[in-house]
A and B are shown apart, each in its own frame.
Chain A
Amino acid sequence: MDIWQHLLGGFGIALTPMNLFYAFIGVLIGTMVGVLPGIGPMSGVALLIPVTYNLNTASAIILMAGVYYGAMYGGSTTSILLNTPGESSSVVTALDGYEMAKRGRAGSALSIAAIGSFVAGTFSVLMLNLLGPSLAKVAIRFGPPEYFSLMLFGLTAVAGFAGKSRNKAFLSLFIGMLISMIGTDLVSGSERFTFGISNLSDGIDFIIVSIGVFALGEVFTTIVEMNKGKQTRFRIEGKIWPSREELRRSVGPIARGSVLGFFIGVLPGAGATIASFIAYDLEKRISKFRHLFGKGAIEGVAAPESANNGAAGGAMVPLLTLGVPGSGTTAILLGALMIHGITPGPLLFEKNPDVAWGLIASMYIGNLMLLVLNLPLVGLFAKIIDIPQVYLLPMIIIISTLGIYGVSGNIFGLWLLLFFGIIGYFMKRYDYPGAPMILGLVLAPLMEQSLRQALIMSNGAYTIFVVRPISLVLLLLAAAAIVVPLLLRKKNGKFDQVEKDMEL
């Protein structure tokens, strides 16, 4: 039987009324979980596991996968409307998404996010379907040296997130990297920068920093401005849906974001966050509208949202074809399979074809359901920012604290949240960009860990990074990402001047 026949069989399973129902419940809960900041896809799926105990395996996994990509989908909503990224992978979406919302284009941003997610989600299932096993064999060759080089390349994306001062972006990046050093060091097993505080020994969760810096920082800023009698209530301008022009501008970013996201997602451990940062940076580098980035560019929503959903699909590749988790969330899914008596591994497709193909088929259906579910909600969600600030701000504060406390159950995180909220207020006020801090926070631990793993592997020889071809290519890419723009700027000083004029 070829894959199309299997897929047909899969649809036979996924299209039963019961499984359609579970896919729907899954994406619905996923959207809810995604909208609530703090509960990301990972904890969302983990929380749902007990609910699925009594379902049959195919239904259970369809439900949980629905929660996974539903949460990836929903993550953009609060980023765009409230500047409150629910997961690290939707931090980037907040940059231009929230700016669009402020300019009355929330509906457009939300729709583009939904469309981009749908396209990327569908593209990645299709790729998983067609190329899964062969891709996974390549992806698994990625070892610590390759990850180090990839992370280095990822760091060059910081250029895309600088405001007026490049140095402020760098400072923000390095401080983020420093924050990530707090906690137990994986390679030596000892604690660093914890000063004997047990609460710090797991490190500081990026979600605390991102909700603090973005959401609370924004709330504080708004409060100060309200105090000055400034009315900051936003109004929806024009029609809710994206204009033809906006749609047209989104085509390229969505296509590139989907491809980029998928391939980065396939690499075990690289993940949606890095994909979203790189996709945004890429668009900013090549877009005609680069001067609009950070001021509500539709490309800045389309690219990262497609990338993080593409990555979510990509992460399913190693899980389904090799039985190794490609991300934190797929690791949870793997655990869930075991609870249902399935041994994840390379034989999954042979031994449990109903589960594997049922899941793949349900991913096609689920993505469609999400689009159908989310587009009508756009109008409703977009009205959220019509709620007067006097009610909205306290609600944002409560959702933020709940997001931090809910899953960890630890009050210490709330103090940190407040701390980073105050930091975020100053950063916003004095034009220190927040996104580089999150980038550093997410990348630095992976980067350090893979650097040191690679050095153990090579007995301390740094040549390991250049003798391995993939690693070398990534290092060269990173170098190019730094050098090429510098050269271009020298050659093309005129363009730079134009850019500067437009910024002012």
Chain B
Amino acid sequence: MEKNSVFDRYVSGFTFLLGLLVIIYSMVLPKPIFAGQMGPGIFPTGIGVLIVIVSAVLFRESGKEGRTGTIAQPTSDQQVTTEKLFNRHLLIVIVALIIYILLFQILGFVISSMAMILALGWLLGARKWIPLTLISVLFPTALFLLFGMLGVELPAGIIHF
């Protein structure tokens, strides 16, 4: 719970700065060339101001919360989460996703997706090879054919149907 409000502090601090940057950036956007126009910077400036204000309020709120702990009660789910923000599983999934995206256009949709399902399924604890293999083969193939029927060309990569 302590952590919860600390996170809110970081977020509100960050969005406060973001809001300021947005305001500055919007101010230097070009003035309108044409008659009667509101320039492209006015609306985003307004959004920037709103972000700054709400961030400031949130920052104060999170400070209070951190001290007294009465405003926001963490849900039971959150009480369990006491470890690091990114645990190893999540990091590996993200890395796997990055590799998947890189592979996507080169190897084609079907093969990269097969690899993805196998790798991720294994990571998550699937140890029954038969269903895992079946799903990893059938699911991407079915999607590939389905999209093909709809006229969407997915990257075929190194295999050709």
- The reply, when asked whether chain A contacts chain B directly with Cβ atoms under 8 A, is yes
User: Residues on A close to B: CB < 8 A?
Assistant: 29, 32-33, 36, 39, 44, 47-48, 50-51, 164-165, 167-168, 170-171, 174-175, 177-178, 181, 185, 187-188, 190, 192-193, 219-220, 223-228, 230, 388-391, 393-395, 397-399, 401-402, 405-407, 409, 411, 414-415, 418, 421-422, 425-426, 429-432, 444, 448, 451-452, 455-456, 459-460, 504
Q: Which residue of B lies closest to A43 (CB)?
A: B152
Bound-state CA distance A167–B63 (Å) is: 14
Told that A393-B124, A406-B154, A459-B35 touch, could you supply 6 new A-B pairs with CB distance under 8 A? A171-B11, A390-B125, A398-B139, A402-B109, A402-B154, A430-B4
Given A171-B58, A174-B54, does the pair A451, B147 have CB atoms closer than 8 Å? no
Q: Is the CB of B117 within 8 A of A395?
A: yes
Chain A residues with Cβ below 8 Å from B38 are: 187, 451-452, 455, 460
Q: How many A-B residue pairs have CB under 8 A?
A: 188
Q: Is the CB of A227 within 8 A of B72?
A: no
Interface of B is mostly: helix
- B32 at the A interface (CB under 8 A): yes
Name B94-141 residues within 8 Å CB distance of A: 94, 97-98, 100-101, 104-105, 109, 113, 116-117, 120-121, 124-126, 131-132, 135, 139-140
Q: Is the CB of B72 within 8 A of A226?
A: no
Chain B, residues 68-89, CB within 8 Å of chain A (1/0): the string is 0001110101101101010111
Q: Which residue of A lies closest to B124 (CB)?
A: A390
B82 CB, min distance to chain A CBs, angstroms: 10
Q: Is the CB of B25 within 8 A of A226?
A: no
- B24 at the A interface (CB under 8 A): no
Chain B, residues 33-62, CB within 8 Å of chain A (1/0): the string is 111111111011001101100110110010
Chain A residues with Cβ below 8 Å from B126 are: 388, 390-391
Bound-state CA distance A418–B94 (Å) is: 8
Q: Is the CB of B121 within 8 A of A401?
A: no
- B90 at the A interface (CB under 8 A): yes
Chain B residues with Cβ below 8 Å from A193 are: 25, 44
Q: Is the CB of A431 within 8 A of B72?
A: yes
Chain B residues with Cβ below 8 Å from A181 are: 43-44, 47
Chain A residues with Cβ below 8 Å from B100 are: 397, 401
B150 CB, min distance to chain A CBs, angstroms: 5
Q: Is the CB of B89 within 8 A of A224?
A: yes
